[in-house]
Structure 1
Amino acid sequence: MQILGAFSADHSHLSLSDLARRAGLPVSTVHRMLTELLAWGALEKDERGRYRIGLRLWELGALAPRGQGLRECALPYLEDLCQVTRENVQLAVRDGTDVVFVERLGGSSAVPTLTRVGGRLGSIATSAGLVLLAYAPAQVQDAALGEPVKAHTAFTLCGAVQLRRVLAQVRACGYAVSDRQLSLDTLSVAAPVLSPDGEVVAAVSLVVRHGSMPTGALADLVRTSGRAITRALQAAVC
């Protein structure tokens, strides 16, 4: 697990020495384990002899129930939302105090984003993260607000008191806004997706160029999509 955990979006191809250093393990130990990981398909070698994540792990990851079933129910509505807006559409779930994106669609002229499928970010700087945090248990909120917040821009919310007000507002209006908190040229709006038991299990979000669309119109779109995905999840259970 330490070897696999050494990979990240910024370090997707690693040499033996890089793997050992990032995993905090002796080179000899890593070299021995790499033979088994390669044979099983967890890792592959590229043309330069560096190691990368193998397709076998992708196959297993696709079986994760919070990603697979949710994505299958949500995808038609995400595609509709993307087609209507020609903007970035995302579906995210919460993992601890982080948000993980399980799907992302984007129009050809949509603003570039920092998110990717399988990507993980802190909850504070994204609208999807704020939605998921707003409906999370109190202990999760306390943990997230007690952690140091990475200031991606000058607009990133960092104060615990201010953040609690924002989370209360999210619960009151049913959507969250992240205005230039992650990057200076983006604005995102997100709404919750509910399970058949009424729990918030995901968030659907739109990411647009800052100033390109009214926030109210974006909120109406994501709330409509969130309700549609919620109904699809309920129908899938029935």
Structure 2
Amino acid sequence: MLARGLSLLDAFLAGDTELGLAELADRSGLPKPTAHRLLGELVEWGAVERSRPGHYRLAGKLFRLGQLVPRHRQLRQAALPFLEELHATSGENVHLAVPDDGYTLFVEKLSGTESMVVGSRVGGRMPSHCTATGKVFLAWGGRERLRRVVDAGLPRLTPRTIVLPGLLHQDLERTLARGVGINHEEAEPGVSAVAAPVRGARGEVVAALSVTGCSQRLDVERLGRVVRAAAGALSARLPALAAGR
């Protein structure tokens, strides 16, 4: 029964803010009567709320629980000064992301003061193969992670999205060589981004910092150096945090 209830919550992972009963039942694979009954229990517990008749959205209790995840909370707190510096330097949207299966999960975002609005949001996920942060996770994440992403399919989000495994492999080799992941209008038309890896105490890539903005004015080469410096400084800070200093 718990697994069935969680499958209803999983239905929101695609990024929808509101879903109807029929859509929830379809995505979870549950019969409508079962989905309706379980949704009533989730509403009572505080995980979801009724947005309008027959429609549901996630409720604040899940947000409060999410803020208590120690690894993400500590990482976000450590990264915030570096994100703020990137934000002030670039004037663009800046992100902190972590790998989440075949996706990149955004755990913090500062919107640019003069930049265009982009579709990312805190708690939102995007496919790894077409995002700058996701390419960081694929490039440094080993063959198994890349294999899982390729086997799951490479959906096309824009005309520039890389959907052929061979071309993606070449792009990830370039990512390793230059030390940053670059997304040029592959996730959203007119939007580009550059991201750099954040390393943990053992040298493994645990997160990524990125700068995102309008393709026509985003200086990827200059900002690539800036974001690499910020990610390197954050990486140097993480072992001290892990040791409790």
TM over 0.5: yes
Match for residue 40 of structure 1 among 31, 38, 45: 45
Q: Match for residue 124 of structure 1?
A: 129
1: CA distance, partners of 2:127 / 2:81: 27
Given the superposition, is the C-alpha separation of residues 153 and 32 from structure 1 closer, same or farther in structure 2, using an over 3 Å criterion? closer
> TM (normalized to structure 1)?
0.91
The structure where helix makes up a greater share of residues is: 2
Q: Match for residue 111 of structure 2?
A: 106
SS at match of 2:162: coil
Counterpart code for 1:209: C
SS at match of 2:78: helix
Moved more, 56-65 or 68-77: 56-65
Counterpart code for 2:111: G
Alpha-carbon offset, residue 26 of structure 1: 2.6
Matches within 5 A, 1:124-203: 124-203=129-208
SS at match of 1:93: strand
Given the superposition, is the C-alpha separation of residues 213 and 12 from structure 1 closer, same or farther in structure 2, using an over 3 Å criterion? closer
SS at match of 1:155: coil
> TM (normalized to structure 2)?
0.88
- Contact 1:92/1:203, CA 8 A, preserved across alignment: yes
Identity of aligned residues (%): 36
1: CA distance, partners of 2:132 / 2:195: 5
Q: Which deviations, in whole Å up to 9, do the C-alpha atoms of 1:61-92 show, x marking residues without a partner?
A: 12223421111110111011112211010111
Alignment gaps of 5+ in structure 1: none
SS at match of 2:7: coil
Alpha-carbon offset, residue 117 of structure 1: 1.1
Q: Match for residue 65 of structure 2?
A: 60
2: CA distance, partners of 1:96 / 1:19: 22
- Contact 2:46/2:59, CA 8 A, preserved across alignment: yes
Q: Match for residue 214 of structure 2?
A: 209
- Contact 2:15/2:124, CA 8 A, preserved across alignment: no
Match for residue 20 of structure 1 among 15, 21, 25: 25
Counterpart code for 2:102: T
- Contact 1:192/1:226, CA 8 A, preserved across alignment: yes
Alpha-carbon offset, residue 42 of structure 1: 1.0
